[in-house]
Amino acid sequence: MARYLLRRLLFAIPTLLGISMVIFAILALAPGDPLAQFAADPSVPPEVRERIRESLGLNDPWYIRYVKWLAALLRGDWGYSFASRVPVLDLIVQRLPQTLQVVGVAYLVAIFIAIPIGIVSAVRPYSLFDNLATTFAFIGFSLPTFFTGLLLILLFSVRLRWLPFIYDSTLKVVNWETLWLQVRQMLMPVTVLALFQTGSLTRFVRAAMLENLPADYARTARAKGLSEQAVVLGHVFRNSMIPVVTLLALGVPTVFTGAIVTEQIFRINGIGELLIKSIQNSDTPVVMAITFIFAVLVVLFNVIADVLYGILDPRIRYD
Amino acid sequence: MPEANPPVDNPPVGRAQLAAATRAQFTRPPRSLWNDAWRRFRRHRMAVAGTVVFLGLVLFVTCGPLLARNDPRAIDFSKSMLAPSRAHPMGTDDLGRDMLARVMLGGRISLAVGVASMLIAITLGTLVGALAGFAGGRVDSILMRLTDLFLALPVVPLLLLLIFLFRDALRRAFGPETGIFILIVSVIGLLNWMTVARLVRSSFLALKQKEFVEAAHALGIGEARIMVRHILPNALGPIIVAATLGVGAAIITESVLSFLGLGFPPDTPTWGRLLFDGQNFLDLAPWMVLWPGFLIFLTVLSINYVGDGLRDALDPRSRR
């Protein structure tokens, strides 16, 4: 197991290198100058601009810049943001908690809603409940998050005036009152993200359960005289969770990308909002870093999914 | 695949009537693969409803602008943010432009983006998958490595980045609208071919072992012809399903881009762009957001149902 894990992690390295090269190449090939904002600024003379270029290494050929960037990245030096002159790492560390909070809660909510619905749907396929759940799932993953977000704002903030529509990230939870405020402001972003995830998750749980319900071991369990509940929850559900857990791990990066839109709607100052702002400001170091973090997330959760699959399914051997 | 059961020639039975009856019984139209699929598709009620709705939407955006009374670009501040009425069934926007006309015009672009980027993704995916599955060996492992690399790319951040970086260059080269269209369509296509490639590869791997391919080889038919004429038609089912669902996904992606302000220019009213413009007037003119959002939802929902129906219909395991 440990050897497999090690090998799997080693295999992730070339992928990450490949991705970093792709991102770097895109940025290097792109027309446009990261120092364009200085060009428009008359108080920065051309000589100074040239010196800034030199100090940032922008005059080197791209492969030298790539190696330099990679070496610095590995040393933990992620460079400075062009726009705010703050270390990129600090910026990201500042923004990450808000994103993690919303994304994490939303994913948990989605999981806790989707699993029971999926189980009941599979146990009674094509019943009224299953049909309703299926319709709900189709609506869930056909509704784009930006539209659900605006609908919720329209209903709960504009019409009913129950919930705030701008997320206040300076809010510190110190007592019950502030906790209540935090819950209220998280309610809509979490609902938007969770609704989208619940739809597809329900379908996965249902499909996995349907595949296992007629299995031989389920018939054996029934023949032993186990109650239907024990068969479904104790035997079928446990085995059906193997592919679902893998999908859950694989889905984490998608939720993060979904957060980009949600943060934009509710003005949450998370990492997605930082990405959009940095793209608009041509803030290359920040864009590069965030895109790379997303790539690392994808690769990392791929490994996690593989390993989880092995732990959960004893039929899979690592030799 | 056998095209149909040939009509059985019954040995003549004494009574002519019986023979005629028997013949009538056996000469019903042959059941082909596509006929069967169509029969199964019709049985999926939501898929049929989805098809009808989707075709309706296509008609709405293609023929609608020809019949519309209002100019989608005519600015009239005296009509700013009027609620839906007889003259403006979907209301007007902040600049007094008719929402119905704008929604129809925008729908053309949204649907065109969806279909065009799906075509790019499917073509690329089929090419890569077919080559990998058919050639095997070295080619296969290199192509699959490439596919894995692309699968690990963070799609949305990269999309945003590519569009932001190359927007101005393409705008200069092809004009504001065509340039952005080419950029968005190719970028969405380039970042979404991987699942198709995997699907096609696995069908090709399975199919090239089949007897009919062996028979084609034995007849001396060339490799390329076997790939295109013998294997590809049999691998078409999953490709069609992926293509259908791809249109919906691409429409959503385009509207996300436009919604984040990185899509089409302001005077091109795609559905996502209309939502982006309308979000600041949510309290005064909710119809500016509701209509385009509802249309995106309706389009994607109908496409998803059609895809679901096609999956059931084209899956040979469910052949009845």
Put simply, whether B141 touches A (Cβ < 8 Å) is no
Residue B53: which pLDDT band, with cuts at 50, 70 and 90? very high
Q: What is the pLDDT of residue B294?
A: 92
Count of Cβ atoms closer than 10 Å to residue A184 Cβ: 13
Question: Residue A74 is encoded by which pair of tokens?
Answer: 């590995």
Query: B4-13, B175-184, B283-292: lowest mean pLDDT where?
Result: B4-13
Gap between the Cα atoms of B310 and B297, Å rounded: 20
Task: Pick the closest to residue B263 from B279, B276, B246, B280 (CA basis).
Answer: B276
User: Which stretch, A173-177, A288-292, B13-17, has highest mean pLDDT?
Assistant: A288-292
Answer whether B156 sits within 8 Å of A26, measured CB to CB. Answer: no
Of A19, A138, A144, the CB nearest to B252: A144
Mean pLDDT of chain B: 82
For chain B, what percent of residues have pLDDT higher than 90?
21
Q: Is B276 inside any structural domain?
A: no
- The better pLDDT of the pair B91, A243 is held by A243
**Is the distance from CB of B39 to CB of B46 less than 8 angstroms?**
no
Question: Residue A18 is encoded by which pair of tokens?
Answer: 């490949």
Gap between the Cα atoms of B271 and B106, Å rounded: 6
Mean pLDDT of chain A: 83
Question: Residue A138 is encoded by which pair of tokens?
Answer: 């189709």
Answer whether B255 sits within 8 Å of A144, measured CB to CB. Answer: yes
Question: Residue B28 is encoded by which pair of tokens?
Answer: 């019903």
Q: Is B206 inside any structural domain?
A: yes
Mutate to test the interface with A, among B151, B259, B281 (most CBs of A within 10 A): B259
Answer whether B153 sits within 8 Å of A138, measured CB to CB. Answer: no
For chain A, what percent of residues have pLDDT higher than 70?
92
Q: Is B63 inside any structural domain?
A: no
Q: Is B263 inside any structural domain?
A: yes
Mean pLDDT of B76-89: 73
State how far residue A52 is from chain B, nearest Cα, in angstroms.
22
Q: Is B285 inside any structural domain?
A: no
Query: Does residue A24 carry a pLDDT above 50?
Result: yes
Give B-chain residues touching A26 at CB under 8 angstroms: 158, 161-162, 165
Q: Which residues contact A303 (CB under 8 A, 6 or more apart)?
A: A5, A8, A9, A12
Q: What is the pLDDT of residue B15?
A: 64
Q: Is B256 inside any structural domain?
A: yes
Mean pLDDT of A5-24: 83
Answer whether A257 sits within 8 Å of B155, measured CB to CB. Answer: yes
Residue of B nearest to A263 (CA): B260
Answer whether B169 sits within 8 Å of A31, measured CB to CB. Answer: yes
**Is the distance from CB of B287 to CB of B100 less than 8 angstroms?**
no
pLDDT by residue (tens digit) across B21-45?
666 566 666 677 778 788 888 888 8
Of B169, B262, B293, the CB nearest to A150: B293
- The better pLDDT of the pair B175, A30 is held by B175
Put simply, whether B162 touches A (Cβ < 8 Å) is yes
Of B154, B283, B300, the CB nearest to A295: B154
Q: What is the pLDDT of residue B1?
A: 42
State how far residue B113 is from chain A, nearest Cα, in angstroms.
16
Answer whether A31 sits within 8 Å of B157, measured CB to CB. Answer: no
Query: Does residue B52 carry a pLDDT above 90?
Result: yes
Residue of B nearest to A32 (CA): B165
Question: Residue A187 is encoded by which pair of tokens?
Answer: 């309610």
Q: Is B187 inside any structural domain?
A: yes
Query: A122-126, A127-131, B89-93, B289-293: lowest mean pLDDT where?
Result: B89-93
Mutate to test the interface with A, among B54, B151, B156 (most CBs of A within 10 A): B156
Q: Which residues contact A9 (CB under 8 A, 6 or more apart)?
A: A303
Residue B277: which pLDDT band, with cuts at 50, 70 and 90? confident
Put simply, whether B218 touches A (Cβ < 8 Å) is no
* CB–CB contacts below 8 A, A to B: 116
Q: What is the pLDDT of residue A223?
A: 92
Please report the ipTM that was assigned to this predicted complex: 0.81
Of A147, A287, A298, the CB nearest to B275: A147
Give B-chain residues touching A153 at CB under 8 angstroms: 282
**Is the distance from CB of A265 to CB of A150 less than 8 angstroms?**
yes
pLDDT by residue (tens digit) across A250-271?
888 888 888 888 888 888 888 9
Mutate to test the interface with B, among A13, A16, A33, A147 (most CBs of B within 10 A): A147
Put simply, whether A218 touches B (Cβ < 8 Å) is no
Query: Does residue B12 carry a pLDDT above 70?
Result: no
Answer whether A150 sits within 8 Å of B275, measured CB to CB. Answer: yes
Query: Which CA distances in Å does A277 have to A192, A193, B180?
Result: 22, 21, 20
Put simply, whether A15 touches B (Cβ < 8 Å) is yes
Q: Which residues contact B268 (CB under 8 A, 6 or more apart)?
A: B106, B109, B176, B177, B180
What is the 3-state secondary structure of chain B? CCCCCCCCCCCCCCCHHHHHHHHHHHCCCCCCHHHHHHHHHHHCHHHHHHHHHHHHHHHHHHHHHHHCCCCCCCCCHHHCCCCCCCCCCCCECCCCCEHHHHHHHHHHHHHHHHHHHHHHHHHHHHHHHHHHHHHCHHHHHHHHHHHHHHHCCCHHHHHHHHHHHHHHHHHHHHCHHHHHHHHHHHHHHHCCCHHHHHHHHHHHHHHCCCHHHHHHHHCCCCHHHHHHHHHHHHHHHHHHHHHHHHHHHHHHHHHHHHHCCCCCCCCCCCHHHHHHHHHHHCCCCCHHHHHHHHHHHHHHHHHHHHHHHHHHHHCHHHCC
Give burial (CB, 10 Å; 0-12/13-18/19+) of B307.
buried
Q: The CATH number of the domain where B137 resides is what?
A: 1.10.3720.10
Mutate to test the interface with B, among A11, A19, A92, A150 (most CBs of B within 10 A): A150
Q: Three-state DSSP class for A179?
A: helix
Residue B17: which pLDDT band, with cuts at 50, 70 and 90? low
Query: A174-183, A212-221, B92-101, B232-241: lowest mean pLDDT where?
Result: B92-101
Q: How many domains does chain B have?
A: 1
User: Which stretch, A117-121, B45-49, B69-73, B100-104, has highest mean pLDDT?
Assistant: A117-121
Query: Does residue A60 carry a pLDDT above 80?
Result: no
Gap between the Cα atoms of B212 and B227, Å rounded: 12
Gap between the Cα atoms of A180 and A176, Å rounded: 6
End-to-end CA distance of chain A: 9
Count of Cβ atoms closer than 10 Å to residue B64 Cβ: 17
Residue B319: which pLDDT band, with cuts at 50, 70 and 90? very low
Q: Which of residues 265-294 of B touch A (CB under 8 A)?
A: 272, 275, 279, 282-283, 286, 289-290, 293-294
Q: What is the dihedral of CA B209, B211, B213, B216, to 10 degrees?
A: 150
pLDDT by residue (tens digit) across A103-125?
899 999 999 999 999 999 999 88
Put simply, whether B154 touches A (Cβ < 8 Å) is yes
Q: Is B123 inside any structural domain?
A: yes
Answer whether B152 sits within 8 Å of A15, measured CB to CB. Answer: yes
Q: What is the pLDDT of residue B122?
A: 94
- The better pLDDT of the pair B26, B135 is held by B135
Residue of B nearest to A151 (CA): B290
State how far residue B67 is from chain A, nearest Cα, in angstroms.
28
What is the span of the domain harbouring residue B259?
Answer: 113-270
**Is the distance from CB of B131 to CB of B206 less than 8 angstroms?**
no
Give A-chain residues touching B256 at CB under 8 angstroms: 144, 146, 261
Put simply, whether A173 touches B (Cβ < 8 Å) is no
Answer whether B161 sits within 8 Å of A27, measured CB to CB. Answer: yes
Task: Pick the closest to residue B117 from B240, B258, B257, B250 (CA basis).
Answer: B250
Mutate to test the interface with A, among B147, B155, B256 (most CBs of A within 10 A): B256
Put simply, whether A207 touches B (Cβ < 8 Å) is no
Q: What angle do CA A33, A34, A36 make, to 5 degrees?
A: 65
Give B-chain residues touching A287 at CB under 8 angstroms: 157, 161
Mean pLDDT of A132-156: 87
Q: What is the pLDDT of residue B167?
A: 81
Mutate to test the interface with B, among A24, A142, A148, A195 (most CBs of B within 10 A): A142
Answer whether B158 sits within 8 Å of A265, measured CB to CB. Answer: no
Q: What is the pLDDT of residue A280?
A: 81
Q: pTM here? A: 0.83
Give B-chain residues touching A283 at CB under 8 angstroms: none
Residue A27: which pLDDT band, with cuts at 50, 70 and 90? confident
Put simply, whether B261 touches A (Cβ < 8 Å) is yes
SS3 content of chain A, % helix, strand, coil (to 5): 75, 0, 25
Question: Residue A19 is encoded by which pair of tokens?
Answer: 């991705």
Mean pLDDT of A48-53: 74
